[in-house]
Copies of this chain bind each other. A is one copy, B any other.
Amino acid sequence: MALRLDYTNMLAENVPGGIPLAALEAAGDAFARAMAVFDERRGRGELGFLDLPAAHESTQQIRQFAEGAGQAFSDIVVLGIGGSALGPIALRSALRSTRWNELGDEARDYFPRLHVLENVDPVTIAELLGRIELGRTLFLVVSKSGGTAETMAQYLVVRGRLIEALGDKFQRHLVFVTDPEKGSLRRIAREESIPTLDIPSNVGGRFSVLSAVGLLPAALIGIDIQALMAGAGDMAERCGARELRKNPAAMYAVLQWLADTQHELGTHVIMPYSDNLRDVGDWFVQLWAESLGKTKPDGTSVGPTPIPALGATDQHSQVQLFMEGPLDKTVTFIAVGARSTDITIPKLHQDVPELAYLGGHSLGELLDVERRATAGALARRGRPNMTITCEKLDAWHVGSMLMMLAIATVIAGALYEVNPLDQPGVELGKRYTYGMLGRPDARDARQEWDALPKPDPESVV
């Protein structure tokens, strides 16, 4: 069964503080304009991620590559940051296990462990390199541009270690995932015949989970990537609908945009009630934050602030703030229908009232009841919320959800009138980094950095 978006609790008719139905209807024009922008971008070939589900041959090729390579390795290590890391992590947690790397061989069906190095912290990297067997490890170096500082630094370290340990066989332990034409990784791959998979040039990093970036690690640990793509394809089709009420991605985008721009509800919490989907939340945070948080040419700064949360866990953390703090948030719950397993709470301590009522219910039921109770309590307090229901946590549904959120992001970009595909705000920090590290082409950045205020001893406690 397909994914559902229930926005009953987003409407002012049901929840004071929500969006009046009339405002939603009046947004029809904005929706139509946004879809026109969407079509334009698509027409210009900018939205490559939409075409991935139909690229059956490429998916098939990734699967075959994984099947060939998978047998030989006990550990896969992704070197990547941002979308290159968040996508694989989200797939691993959603469709395998949140603790995949702790499981024994049998519990992993003899698929390899999958480590994702998404930072350059030497403590983490030294520890991992110290405990894996290099001779049985495959490193996936993932960078669209082929020049990401963090990923290149990791690659250099790993390359050095591989050469040290394995001599001229080191290349067998490397796969590059990068732009089909451009960048230094592509160049090195050509010179050294290192196997390489493409990130299509029109698929940006944070929209790349359904390219080889996500699919190769997923296939290597036995995830059914064809089902993932089928679900994504189905959703892409649904989200072509020109009727707002039939287009879940557009409805999500329009509701969040109205909430932010007309009701000052600009903080957007994403709160799955499923441990497996927590990392999908982090993946979404990147997508929503980096795509929509922009300064426009006229100098105005726009964009919602996404926040990750997990139910029921965060009922004991952030929910107090969501219930009683400033009225500046919407909460999107993600519900899971049938869970792959459930546990009945035994009827013990029947004489203790604080425990007795739990016996006979299942943990899945408790989790679901808590989600509905939290949504209801938020509604009762005039705090708008909505719920995405995923009937089953399988590859088809997860593919469908990722595609829905990616399309929603592009449509939201059109509504906010920003380019959801760029990230100009991170350039300055990068240039300062290059300047401080002495990159010859960054001398001006170094000078600019030197002129910034430095820690003032008067302002240190």
Tell me whether A165 is interfacial, beta carbon within 8 Å.
Answer: no
Give chain B nearest CB distance to A434 CB in angstroms.
7
- Contact partner of A459 (CB less than 8 A), chosen from B6, B159, B273, B362, is B6
Chain B residues with Cβ below 8 Å from A311 are: 119
Q: Bound complex: CA of A439 vs CA of B369, how far in Å?
A: 13
Size category of the binding interface on chain A: 35 or more
- Chain B residue at minimum C-beta to C-beta distance from A249: B461
Tell me whether A69 is interfacial, beta carbon within 8 Å.
Answer: no
Chain B residues with Cβ below 8 Å from A381 are: 425, 428
Give the residues from 277 to 321 in chain A that come closer than 8 angstroms, CB to CB, to chain B: 285-286, 289-290, 292-295, 301-303, 305, 307-308, 310-313, 315-321
Give the residues from 2 to 30 in chain A that come closer than 8 angstroms, CB to CB, to chain B: 4-11, 14-15
- On whether A325 and B303 interact (CB within 8 A), knowing A188-B349, A285-B317, the answer reads yes
Chain B residues with Cβ below 8 Å from A10 are: 459
Interface pair A131/B156, CB less than 8 Å apart: no
Interface pair B289/A429, CB less than 8 Å apart: no
**Most chain B CB atoms below 10 A, which of A14, A310, A353, A377:** A377
Tell me whether A226 is interfacial, beta carbon within 8 Å.
Answer: no
Tell me whether A118 is interfacial, beta carbon within 8 Å.
Answer: yes
Chain B residues with Cβ below 8 Å from A37 are: none
Q: Bound complex: CA of A153 vs CA of B397, how far in Å?
A: 29
Q: Bound complex: CA of A104 vs CA of B461, how far in Å?
A: 41
Having A119-B312, A122-B342, one finds 15 other A-B pairs with CB under 8 Å, namely A6-B455, A86-B317, A98-B124, A99-B101, A102-B102, A125-B343, A150-B312, A183-B354, A293-B322, A302-B326, A303-B325, A321-B425, A373-B436, A376-B449, A387-B455
Q: What are the 6 tightest A-B residue pairs by CB atom distance, in nearest-first order?
A: A82-B316, A293-B321, A293-B325, A323-B425, A373-B432, A324-B425
A-B contact pairs, 9 of them (CB 8 A): A9-B453, A81-B313, A82-B316, A121-B339, A123-B276, A150-B316, A267-B305, A294-B325, A370-B429
